[in-house]
Chains A and B, each alone.
Chain A
Amino acid sequence: MTGERTLSGLARPEALEDLHHFVVGLRREHPSVGSQTLTRVETALTELLGNVVEHGQPPLEVRYALAVTVTDSAVEAVLTDDSRMAAPSAAGEMPEVWAESGRGLPLAEALADELVHEPTADGNCWRMVVGRAGTAG
């Protein structure tokens, strides 16, 4: 079964809870997609959206839109925002273990099979692919 599911709103802290419920809906709609795959999707998207919440400009006023498509081989996500501040074009290195911040984008990159950032005329666009590994995916 394939299909697209969308979510949009203001990039505020409560948006992360909306994202969680969104993924709960994905799990319900796509029981054939493995739990581990959707957990990776949720964790990576939490980091990408959290980055918009934390760094988007102007704070609390940035709008985001998320579209997730489930195909036979992967879960594909497109996250756009209208932040006036461009996101980093690359996730960067994982910080050293004693750092208390800076792991979000490197973690998202480590979880995804593909993660690409594209600046847009209005803000940012992240395209992510997480493969449905094996029969359990």
Chain B
Amino acid sequence: MEIERTAHGSATVLRCQGRLTMTSASRLREAVDQAVQDGRHRLVADLAETEFVDSSGLGALVSGLKRARQCGGDLRIAAPVEQVRTVLSLTNLDRVLRPYPTVEDATRDW
């Protein structure tokens, strides 16, 4: 998985390309940690190019959400593909990680 970090107004977008699984989830955790350490607490995980997420990847997203909220920020997810929407729904995580259609939608009120 490749994670590209860009600024989008006051938000930081983490563009996740590839498969977010047991072997790559640590990269997302590290990217969130680094952003938070840099004072960037409004985070968007852009999942448009995330082909597949497993339970380890879900754990990393929850970890990132908790980390951002502990600092007064938030982590939002944008443009998840169908597989990702399915696992979010089956695990009830769509209650706390509500998918936004686009990065622009996710950052509109920031």
Contacts and interface: CB of A to CB of B under 8 A. Distances in A.
A50 B55 contact: yes
Contacts of B102: none
A39 B85 CA distance: 12
Contact of A94 (B54, B66, B92): B92
B63 interface: yes
State which size class the interface on A falls in.
Answer: 20 to 34
A97 B63 contact: no
Contacts, number: 70
- Bin the interface of chain B by size: 20 to 34
A65 B60 CA distance: 28
Interface of A: 13-14, 16-17, 20, 36, 39-40, 42-43, 46-47, 50, 53-54, 94, 97-101, 103-104, 106-107, 110-111
Interface of B: 19, 21-23, 52, 54-56, 58-60, 62-63, 66, 82-83, 86-87, 90-93, 95-96
